[in-house]
Structures are given as C-alpha cells and as structure tokens.
Amino acid sequence: MHIEHSEFQDQLLRGLAHKMNNILSLFHGYLGLLMDDKQLDAATLAGLARIKEGAGAASELMDRAGSLARPSSLIWREINLCDFLRCLKPSFTSYLRQKSTLEINCSDEVPHIWADMSHLRVATLEIVRNACEASPKGGVVTITAAAESPVPLGLSSAAQPITWLSLTVTDHGPGIPPHLTEKVFSPFFTTKQKQNAAGLGLTVALGLVQRMGGVVRIDSQPGHTAVRLLLPSRSETM
C-alpha cells in the first residue's frame, strides 16, 4: 500500500487538527473548572469525568490524524538507534499488558541512521503499541534494530548505495490473517473492541515511514508477528 498525499489534503488535515485541538482544549479548561466545584453530586461529577475523557480521546485522535499531514519539511538528523530505543523504553513499557515483558536488541555495530526523529518516534510507538496489545499475558515483545545486508528484496539500491536499517517488532499474539495484511494499513480499519481504538496506528506509521523513504513489512502467523520498519540510512528525499 502506498499513501498518496496532496498539498490541499495535507493543509486541510493540519488545519482541522489545529482548530479541533483549540476547541478541545477549551472543553478541557472549562470541564476542569466545573469539576473543581465541591458542591457537585457524585453522578454529575462522574458524567463530567466521562466528557473529559471523551475530549481527551478526541484530542489524541486529532493529533494522530494531524501527524499524517505532511509538514513543510522534515528535520533530518543523525540518530543512534540504540540510544533512541533506550530513551523510548519507558513509553514502550507503559503499553505492556500485565506480566508481559519487553526485550530490546541493539548492538553498537548498528550504523546510525539519518531520519526525522519525531516521525521515527511516532511510527515506532504505534508499532510497539500494537505488539503489546496483541501480546498474550506473560508474552515477550521484542524490538530489534539491525543493518540489512544484503538489501531486502524489492528495495534495490542500484542507483545509489544506501544502507538499509530495520526496526523489527515481534510479538507472540494471534497474528494477522493473510487476507488482512494489506487492509490493516487502511485508515480506520480496526479489529479491536477497546474503546478509543481508531484504526489509525498502522496508517500513521506507514505514512511517516514512507515519507522518510522507507517501507513497512508484516510477516505474521498465529503466535508470531513481526512488523518491520525498513529505512534507508540516507534518504533520497533528504
């Protein structure tokens, strides 16, 4: 799947996310004030808390949708993937289900990558969040950073010598059935029952990775799913 961008759509999405977030922060502010009222009965307070939660979820949704809109330029910088993963570890851990564990494999031999830090961060978090949500109780989620040599199939770099790097996130959950491996990238596609599952994680991850010149590959069977972000260490889009 390839995500197409048009300047008009990007502008519209960015503008919408910005305006909606302004409105939602007003909601938050006023709800906070109302909820400070000590005279409120429990039922009213609970109702206000639900509205506040809804406003928070809407705000997160707008942020994620907004991150899909192409910014005027990416900020390319050299990133040490091991440090990057180490810094994000607390966020990864916060997604883990009870008794599940996280393993990070990254050696100093992994070359640095040139990428947009914020894009890489959001894409990685979305993939890890999915793996943690799919992981069975007590399961292990693994994140592995590696240099890809030889160049992965379909990513010929004949015209330009590029080192490809990968971040692979593995879990031992139920897997993605073969007939859904393309569909899961579609906006708003979700199989999750949980409230607030918008079906945006993979769409966002794919959009951001593609913008950095990379691809997302899924290799899944029941009990073993590996989602791989493949990125050129120096992108043609720089």
Ligand X SMILES: Nc1ncnc2c1ncn2[C@@H]1O[C@H](COP(=O)(O)OP(=O)(O)OP(=O)(O)O)[C@@H](O)[C@H]1O
Give the residues lining the site for Mg ion (CB under 5 A).
Answer: 130, 201
Residue 110 contact among Mg ion, ligand X, none, beta carbon within 5 to 8 Å by kind: none
| Nearer to Mg ion among residue 96 and residue 113 (C-beta) | 96
**Residue 95: how many other CB atoms lie within 10 Å:** 17
168 binds ligand X (CB under 6 A): no
User: Binding-site residue total for ligand X (CB under 6 A)?
Assistant: 21
130 binds ligand X (CB under 6 A): yes
Pairing status of strand 113-116 against strand 164-171: unpaired
Give the nearest residue (CB) to ligand X.
201
Burial (CB count <10 Å: 0-12, 13-18, 19+), residue 205: buried
| Nearer to Mg ion among residue 142 and residue 163 (C-beta) | 142
87 binds ligand X (CB under 6 A): no
What's CA 182's distance to the chain center, in Å? 17
CB of 73 to ligand X, least distance (A): 26
225 binds ligand X (CB under 6 A): yes
CB of 177 to ligand X, least distance (A): 9
Among 17, 200, 209, 215, binds ligand X (CB under 6 A): 200
Contact 57/196 with Cβ under 8 angstroms?
yes
201 binds ligand X (CB under 6 A): yes
176 binds ligand X (CB under 6 A): yes
Among 52, 190, 217, 234, binds ligand X (CB under 6 A): 190
CB of 110 to ligand X, least distance (A): 23
116 binds ligand X (CB under 6 A): no
Residue 191 contact among Mg ion, ligand X, none, beta carbon within 5 to 8 Å by kind: ligand X
95 binds ligand X (CB under 6 A): no
Judged by the rule CB under 6 A, the positions of this chain that interact with ligand X are 126, 130-131, 134, 171, 173, 175-176, 184, 189-192, 197-203, 225
